[in-house]
Amino acid sequence: MHDPDAPTGSGFWHWVVLNIPASASGLPQGAGNSPGGLPAPALGGTNDFLDTGATGGNGNYGGPCPPQGDKPHRYVFTLYALAVPDVVAAASVPRTGTAALMSFVLNKGLGAAMLGKASFTATYGR
């Protein structure tokens, strides 16, 4: 989940999940609250809440929260279909790589192993 409207110059990554199995047809409510909520062998990746304490550690979901008074922010969710079971191993990147690095790997670094992707955008303001 990426917020391209965050006032950072590069957006803000709220959630990254890697290695969701092809057999998964959805995620249960609250799946992002702890690593145990994800279907094995999925794992939470590094997001921009790293070391803030806001999500109880790295890799957990951090919900939308644009600054008070900002215009509503867009939150982009993208799901990738890959021909590899482990994106970290296939790309030879550290599991702790940034969300931007993982996004690059998914969009360009895996080549033909990236079979397709789908995105939707939700908007939230306060």
**Residue 36, SS3 per DSSP:** helix
Q: Half-sphere exposure of residue 79, counting CA atoms within 13 Å on the CB side?
A: 10
* pLDDT tens-digit series, residues 54-108: 555 556 888 898 999 999 999 999 999 999 999 999 999 988 888 999 999 999 9
Q: What is the mean pLDDT of the segment spanning 105-118?
A: 93
- pTM value? 0.88
* pLDDT tens-digit series, residues 23-58: 999 999 989 888 788 999 998 888 888 756 555 555
Which domains does the chain possess?
2-124 (3.90.280.10)
